[in-house]
Structure 1
Amino acid sequence: MSHSQANRHGTGHDRQLDAHLGAFNSAFAELGLRFRWDAQTLYALASIDGEHARIAAYIEAHHPHLLNAYSIDFLCEAILALKRAQVPGEWFPERAVQRGLSRELPATRAQWEEDWREPGAGVPALAGA
């Protein structure tokens, strides 16, 4: 693959990533959730299979207070309905992992959540709730 082809391919991937991030963040804002994802957050969640499970793991690790008022399934479905209205389909992290774009990630959700709680590990803390 030539350098220009790689750049075009990378740009297309960046556009897809940006579209999904924008849709997630728009859904969070529309629901009044005070958190925002960036590319690093999405890549850190990439080892978790499926968007529903990624959202659930993120909320359980960073915003468990929301679970006092809402079920995890309700929150995930509400977020995904709004996200998918803007960008149908799912962002597939395995493409990024195969290209070496992400760091070494935990193999399981439990391992990811354990790593998350270690100071300085996992996804950075985000502004918001």
Structure 2
Amino acid sequence: MSTLFSKIAAGEIPSYKCAESDKFYAFLDIDPVTKGHTLVVPRKEVDYIFDMEDADLAEFEVFAKRVARAIKAAFPCKKVAQIVLGLEVNHAHIHLLPMNSEADVDFKHHVKLTEEEFKEIAEKIRKEFK
């Protein structure tokens, strides 16, 4: 059975796509902690990131690094935080969040964005993704 993230990566559920490859997909979190909060997922279903084969995990991290660089270029910040958490979706994923302080990665606080803002943010990241 396909996970929510598999359906998003396959285009069966709409998303604000930021980047993709044949193995990975990056899209905006619909309940973002910060502007630019992006999720990166493998297209291959695996529940737990550390259950991934070593080579796949290495490729996943390199793809996430490329997305993080695009986020940093689109939203100037000190760093892009990488966070692996989440029990709500049984599909490995990485959260990438632009940050200027540790307070920027507090998952108790979220920003509200309009559909137009989501589209603009995703487009900025896509333009910077190389």
Superposition TM-score, scaled by structure 2 size = 0.30
Determine which structure has greater relative contact order: mean sequence separation of CA pairs < 8 Å that are 6+ residues apart, divided by chain length.
1
Superposition TM-score, scaled by structure 1 size = 0.30
